[in-house]
Amino acid sequence: MISWTQLLLILATVIALSVGQVLFKLAADALTFDNGVTLATLIQPRLLIALTVYASATILWLWVLRITPLRLAYPFVGLAFIFVPLLAYFLLDESIDANTFLGGGLILAGIWVSVGRS
C-alpha cells in the first residue's frame, strides 16, 4: 500500500519530469545548429533550467525509491503521458485530440490494475 506521502512525492516527481519535457521543447525551439553543436549553442537559459528541473526530479525520484518499492512507484511514471500533452496544450498551444484522452484513460486503468490493490 502506498502512503499519502509516497503518493505526493511520486506525483511531484512525475510533474517535475513533465515540466522538464516542456522546458526541453522550449529549449529545442530556441536552438540553432547552423554552425554545428557548440558549447555556446547548448548553454542557453531554457536548456539549463530544463536540466536543473530534471536533475531535481531525479533526486526526488531517488528519495521515492528509498521509501517505496519500485514495483509500486514505477507505474505512476506513466502519468507523464497524460501530464505532458496537457501541459503542451496549455503552455505551448499544441493540439490535443480524443486519442490522447483515450490513451490517458488506459494509462490510468493500467496504474490502477498495477498498484490499486497493493
SS3 letters across the chain? CCCHHHHHHHHHHHHHHHHHHHHHHHHHHHCCCCCCCCHHHHCCHHHHHHHHHHHHHHHHHHHHHHHCCHHHHHHHHHHHHHHHHHHHHHHHCCCCCHHHHHHHHHHHHHHHHHHCCC
Look up the pTM and report it: 0.89
User: Closest Cα to residue 50, out of 66, 65, 28, 74?
Assistant: 28
pLDDT tens string 26-49:
998 888 777 766 666 678 888 999
Percent of the chain, pLDDT > 70?
92
Confidence of residue 99 (pLDDT cuts 50, 70, 90): very high
- The whole-number average pLDDT for the span 55-71 is 97
